[in-house]
Structure 1
């Protein structure tokens, strides 16, 4: 291994160490309450070293979201890619199931994605275009599973043909985020006052959404 290759590998490992340290800090303290000093301390690097790799705390946050998106997309691929036996509505149910499983298994990554989707963080200074563009691309890749299911439903007649696929995809995505956010923040309220668990609430909410997509009988 040449010196240039060795240095490149060392830099990549150090970059990975910083992201993992930031994950620990952000997930434990919360993104807003965390500082670059906290990350530097956790990574056992100087703050100057952190800024040699990342422009800002926001850029590191984007790298964490990118990790989260990749894990989510991996789950969606395992469940749906290459499986043509699902009808469109079944595929949408499977997608919802994957999101729920992801929210339970990877709550911190899921929360990072939700906070990104519900904020203007991507328009802040200090975030390089490549980090922002990668996050956009991965978000679109995750949405593509929903788009594909909707398009299939229109073609097979199980979903209304008058619905614009792109807009309907975004509506479903926004609705799913709202449903999952409600489950996360109001879990005990739902259980105590409405006698309904998180899984059942998600199922009933999504069933209502799917009924609105079906053609009139």
Structure 2
């Protein structure tokens, strides 16, 4: 007779396999192009088995996105831990985002799809299941926003960041700028240095320096 612990372990392994295989499908086809039949085939299960572990395609997608968000959040947290005392850490956060974008571009694409479809920035319902993939993604996203906002507040307190915007408002603008620049740099990955006479990393660092100087005025 199979023990309860063994059964729970086997179920967790099946669930992990589904997410592993779904990740490859979403990486290749994106959210709109991925289908449940394709995920089931990749995992070696039928659709009925998928429904034993996930509600629908959205739920599987969010399980994959959660991996990406947790990876990005971890990278940002580690960058803050390396920040010099009294420094805002904005440069370190930007560098961590650059590295993650270059090393994990497919995760970043899924995170952007998640943000446009599911992320809630105001009037969140209190009835959301705290264990759902949607809520867990939301929580990690919120934690990252708080991390960047706290860095901006530190910069404001130390005089290195000057703005008539609130830290939260400035966080949104900086997030948009960095995401936009990274999108352009990724689109022009091939022969970038030959075309522009500078590496993507150096150009990104120059961009961050421009932002720092603008914020310090």
TM-score (norm 2): 0.84
- Pairing partner for 2:117 from 115, 120, 127: 120
Classify the secondary structure of the residue corresponding to 1:212: helix
- Asked if 1 retains the 8 angstrom alpha-carbon contact of 2:163 and 2:215, the reply is no
User: Which residue is 1:100 aligned to?
Assistant: 98
User: Which residue is 2:19 aligned to?
Assistant: 19
- Looking at structure 1, the residues matched to 146 and 119 of structure 2 have their Cα atoms a distance apart, in angstroms, of 21
User: Which residue is 1:203 aligned to?
Assistant: 205
User: Which residue is 2:134 aligned to?
Assistant: 132
Deviation at 1:187, TM superposition (A): 3.2
- Asked if 1 retains the 8 angstrom alpha-carbon contact of 2:86 and 2:154, the reply is no
Classify the secondary structure of the residue corresponding to 2:33: coil
RMSD: 2.5
Structure 1 segments, 4+ long, off by >6 Å, are none
Within the alignment, does 1:58 sit opposite 2:58 as a pair? Answer: yes
Of residues 63-72 and 79-88 in structure 1, the stretch that sits farther from structure 2 once superposed is: 79-88
- Looking at structure 1, the residues matched to 79 and 27 of structure 2 have their Cα atoms a distance apart, in angstroms, of 27
Count of aligned pairs between the two proteins: 208
Deviation at 1:192, TM superposition (A): 5.4
Deviation at 1:83, TM superposition (A): 4.9
Name structure 2 gaps, 5 residues minimum.
121-127
- Looking at structure 2, the residues matched to 161 and 210 of structure 1 have their Cα atoms a distance apart, in angstroms, of 12
Deviation at 1:193, TM superposition (A): 4.8
1:76 to 1:121, Cα distance in 2 relative to 1, 3 A: closer
- Asked if 2 retains the 8 angstrom alpha-carbon contact of 1:62 and 1:132, the reply is yes
- Asked if 1 retains the 8 angstrom alpha-carbon contact of 2:119 and 2:138, the reply is no
- Asked if 2 retains the 8 angstrom alpha-carbon contact of 1:114 and 1:177, the reply is no
1:35-84 per-residue CA deviation (whole Å, 9 max, x = no partner) reads 11111111111111012211222211111111111112222222323755
- Looking at structure 2, the residues matched to 2 and 143 of structure 1 have their Cα atoms a distance apart, in angstroms, of 45
- Asked if 2 retains the 8 angstrom alpha-carbon contact of 1:58 and 1:121, the reply is no
Deviation at 1:161, TM superposition (A): 5.5
1:108-133 per-residue CA deviation (whole Å, 9 max, x = no partner) reads 2122112323x22559xxxx852222
Name structure 1 gaps, 5 residues minimum.
none
User: Which residue is 2:80 aligned to?
Assistant: 80
1:40 to 1:185, Cα distance in 2 relative to 1, 3 A: same
User: Which residue is 2:150 aligned to?
Assistant: 148
TM-score (norm 1): 0.84
1:122 to 1:141, Cα distance in 2 relative to 1, 3 A: closer
